[in-house]
Structure 1
Amino acid sequence: MTVDTAYFFYFLIHTPLTLLIDDTFLIPAKYQLPIQRTLYEYQVVHNKDFLASELPLWMQYFVAVELVFQLPVFLISIGNYLKNGSKRLSTWLYPFILMYAFNAAFTSFQCLVYIYIQGPSYGLSSDETYTLLGLYTPTFVIPMLMIIDITVRLLKQSPKLKTN
């Protein structure tokens, strides 16, 4: 599997998660689909996700950016990958994927730090805190790997680097 194929599947999986879970942070409960409400409640109750239940203002801003910027990047990247015959994502997408990855990693890092520091004050045991950290960690690690990969790709395309 190529890296671009991995990105394709990541975006493909992340799209319904964004639409079914993450956007519930901004959509009032009375406008949510029953499945959205069920998934949200599962996240809060089963995973003891106090970020989802508390919905701090900074988290609401991050979710708004996810819906306005990140979701379109997912959809455009999926379409581009399919259009290119599963060969490779177009190079014009690299800056957008890099911006997505930076924003996602930054957002997830904020969440990880907040969970680690605040977990006990919300009554989470060490095990529960680490479980919740484990749920948020992939949304930090995968975008960080994207940052490295896309940065290397962009540097290889740089005319100045090619002449030296």
Structure 2
Amino acid sequence: MGALTSVLDVIFLAFFIIHIPTTLLVDSQSVFPAEYYPPWAKEALKWHIEMNGDHLVSKNPTWFVSLVWGEVLYQLPFFFVASYAFIKRRNWIRVPSIIYGAHVVTTMIPILTDILFGPDSGPKRHTLAAIYVPYLIVPLLLLVRMAVVEQPFGADDASKRGVKRKAQ
């Protein structure tokens, strides 16, 4: 299990770090005015919409915009905190990770349902769903990883010192 959790932890860290510029430069375009973004970021989003048929981003229904606000206001700060915690192997990230994972898994259900079965889903819905599925799977794996152990990175220094003192 140790090698698997180490691989997962690297995946989680990469996910958090990659998600920071993605949220700032791409996803947040659904909630902030276009003039806040460099032309290349607007073009990248336009390309994604055209290439993958992302009707959610192109039409920005109110329910979707509310989820993007959640990403900007809650998830974006979490990405910074979680990146630090995973780099430094801090066990205090366990509960915030469980909350984050449950939140994201819950938000991805209506997003994927709309992509696959909504009235605006198009011929590229399977491609679009494949793009969005990692945003369900990675947080779900994080949720499970953090839920199954009390100290995801092992005993911290304070706990180790406490054990040594009791033994003396």
Letter in 2 for 1:149: R
Query: 1:112, 1:133 within 8 Å by CA — same for their partners in 2?
Result: yes
Equivalent position of 2:102 in the other structure: 102
Name the SS for the 2:148 alignment partner: helix
**What are the residue-to-residue correspondences of 1:61-140 with 2, within 5 Å?**
61-82=66-87, 84=88, 88=89, 90-118=90-118, 121-122=119-120, 124-125=122-123, 128-140=124-136
Instruction: Give the deviation of 1:6 after TM superposition.
Output: 2.1
Residue 109 (structure 1) shift: 1.4
Residue 12, structure 1, aligned to residue 17, structure 2:
yes
Offset of residue 154 of structure 1: 3.6
Aligned to 2:159: none
1:98 touches 1:150 (CA, 8 Å); kept in 2? yes
- Conserved in 1, the CA contact under 8 Å of 2:55 and 2:121? no
| Unaligned segments of structure 1, at least 5 residues | 158-164
TM-score by length of 2: 0.80
**For each residue in 1:91-125, what CA deviation from the matched residue of structure 2 results, as whole angstroms up to 9, or x when unmatched?**
2111111111111111111110011112xx43722
Supply the RMSD in Å over aligned alpha carbons.
2.0
Identity across the alignment (%): 26
Q: Is the 8 A contact 1:20 1:39 kept in 2?
A: no
Whole-angstrom distance in 2 between the partners of 1:38 and 1:104: 27
Q: Which runs of 5+ in 2 are unaligned?
A: 155-168
Amino acid at match of 1:97: S
Aligned-pair distance for 1:134? 0.7
**SS at 1:153's partner residue?**
coil
Number of residue pairs aligned between Structure 1 and Structure 2: 148
Which residue number in structure 1 is paired with residue 60 of structure 2?
Answer: 55
2:133 counterpart letter in structure 1 = T
Are the equivalent residues in 2 in contact too, given 1:25–1:52 (CA < 8 A)?
A: yes
Query: Is residue 29 of structure 2 the alignment partner of residue 28 of structure 1?
Result: no
Q: CA–CA distance in 2 between the matches of 1:123 and 1:71?
A: 28
Q: Which moved more, 1:132-141 or 1:31-40?
A: 31-40
Select which of 129, 139, 147 maps to 1:143.
Answer: 139
CA distance in 1: counterparts of 2:121 and 2:43, whole angstroms: 23
Q: What amino acid is aligned across from residue 33 of structure 1 in structure 2?
A: P
TM-score, structure 1 length as denominator?
A: 0.82
Which of 148, 153, 160 is residue 149 of structure 2 equivalent to? Answer: 153
With over 3 angstroms needed to count, the CA separation of the structure-2 counterparts of 1:34 and 1:149, relative to structure 1, is same
